[in-house]
Amino acid sequence: MANWFECKVRYDKLQENGAAKKVNEPYLVDALSFTEAEARITEEQRPFISGEFQVSAIKPTKIAEIFWDETGDRWYLVKVAFITIDEKTAAEKRSNSLILVQAANFKHALERFEEGMKGTMADYEIVQITETPLMDVYKMKVVE
């Protein structure tokens, strides 16, 4: 199971008008610890950022799963409630989960989510879908 950490990277970004502007961009990395998350985001960002940068924040997330789609350039967070029935009391119980979906737009995110949930035996209800500010997501690299 993946452990997803949100890492914020602060650096001077060159604007279209040629001026440099300090930005603080969020990324998601799969890592085992805060230390590994910092090392991974530093390694991933070094080729793309000229000049100095710093990892300004790292926090663990509660993302349960990610539905990938290479055609999408945005990231949407889907809060989904899985519905179960308590056998003793016959009461409906809901447990929330967060699923990240890569998509081109909101409609595509919903379609991609529903496609990813095909075959799921559990009843569920979409509680919320929001576009995230994430710039990119980095999977764990498998060394063979």
Convert the pLDDT of each residue in 56-86 to its tens digit. Answer: 999 999 999 999 999 999 999 999 999 998 8
Quote the pLDDT of residue 62. Answer: 97
DSSP labels, 94-133: EEEEEEEEEESSHHHHHHHHHHHTTT--SEEEEEEEEE--
Distance CA 76, CA 131 (A): 4
The whole-angstrom separation of Cα 74 and Cα 92 is 34
User: Cα–Cα distance between 9 and 132 in angstroms, integer?
Assistant: 16
Q: What is the pLDDT of residues 77-112, one digit of tens each?
A: 999 999 998 888 889 999 999 999 999 999 999 999
Query: Cα dist. 51→47, 56, 115, 138 in Å?
Result: 10, 16, 41, 22
pLDDT at 144: 63
The answer to whether residue 26 scores a pLDDT higher than 70 is: yes
Q: Mean of the pLDDT values across residues 16-21?
A: 90
The answer to whether residue 6 scores a pLDDT higher than 80 is yes
Closest to 76 (Cα-Cα) out of 116, 19, 126, 134: 134
